[in-house]
Amino acid sequence: MGDPGSILSLMKEDEREAFRLLFAGYYDPLLLYCHRILGDPVAAEDVVQECFISLWRGKRLAGFVGDLDKFLFRVAKNRALVYLRDKRRADHSRDSYLQEQPPGEEEYRDNTDALYLAINRLPEKCRKIFLMACLDDKTYQQVADELHLSVNTVKSQMKYALKFLRENLDASLFLTILMYLTPGAFSRNAGRG
């Protein structure tokens, strides 16, 4: 790990270089730490990358005073715990859905495959927005911020995606599978235009 004091000092002079040193010095230790919490190397990598993105975008280190090591590991731990909470919720929603359905795992798998095939036929930008809003459980504002788009563009792309899926899927499949994949996605974004 780099010298926390020199990294924080450099933040005032050359933010990009300081952040580069921060990333180089802390990425691997944070990755190992998150992997220990999550038990999943891919999830750990995602969480650590989200930590750095959040720190960079939020300019949270610009005037930071304190123990940088403790702060970074606390940020990583909190993000990892949020990931575990969200995963548990998603697993619980999926399990509840499967218990409510008549025994037809093959039909469920076929329906899911049909949905993903339809989603994959969406234009790339539209598909990315749809997946971020629905599967990643992000608000339209979060999607817009991450992709550097306006909220109206996100809304338009979501409207197009939903229309396309409605037209290309059986009505019951569209409603059942979409609501299963997006618990709360529409309620989070309701009233926003």
H or E segment at 27? helix 15-38
What gap in Å lies between CA 101 and CA 176, rounded to an integer? Answer: 10
Domain ranges of the chain: 4-86, 103-189
CB environment 139-149: b (16+ within 10 A), e (fewer): bbebbbebeeb
What gap in Å lies between CA 25 and CA 108, rounded to an integer? Answer: 46
pLDDT in tens, 17-72: 877 887 888 888 989 989 998 888 898 999 998 888 887 776 666 666 677 888 88
Identify the CA nearest to 116 among candidates 39, 57, 183, 169.
169
CATH annotation of 4-86: 1.10.1740.10
Instruction: Tell which CATH classification among 1.10.10.10, 1.10.3720.10, 1.20.1600.10, 3.30.230.10 matches the domain 103-189.
Output: 1.10.10.10
DSSP state of 65: -
* Cβ–Cβ under 8 Å, residues 118 and 168: yes
Identify the CA nearest to 180 among candidates 134, 131, 123.
134
What gap in Å lies between CA 4 and CA 10, rounded to an integer? Answer: 10
* Cβ–Cβ under 8 Å, residues 11 and 2: no
Name the band, by pLDDT with cuts 50, 70 and 90, for residue 153.
Answer: very high
Name the band, by pLDDT with cuts 50, 70 and 90, for residue 186.
Answer: very low
What gap in Å lies between CA 24 and CA 69, rounded to an integer? Answer: 14
**For residue 177, pLDDT beyond 60:** no
Q: Could you tell me what percent of the chain has a pLDDT over 70?
A: 68
What gap in Å lies between CA 156 and CA 154, rounded to an integer? Answer: 5
Q: What's residue 183's pLDDT?
A: 47
Q: Which of 83-92, 135-144, 157-166, 175-184 has the lowest mean pLDDT?
A: 175-184
Residues 131, 137, 142: CA angle, nearest 5 degrees: 85
Q: Which of 21-25, 26-30, 112-116, 118-122 has the lowest mean pLDDT?
A: 112-116
Q: Tokens 């790990």, residue?
A: 1
* Cβ–Cβ under 8 Å, residues 30 and 58: no
Q: What's residue 8's pLDDT?
A: 64
Same CATH fold, 103-189 and 4-86? no
Return mean pLDDT, the chain. Answer: 77
* Cβ–Cβ under 8 Å, residues 46 and 22: no
What's the mean pLDDT in 1-17? Answer: 65
Name the band, by pLDDT with cuts 50, 70 and 90, for residue 187.
Answer: very low
40 or 103, which is more confident? 40
Q: Residues with Cβ < 8 Å from 147, sequence gap 6 or more? A: 128, 129, 132, 154
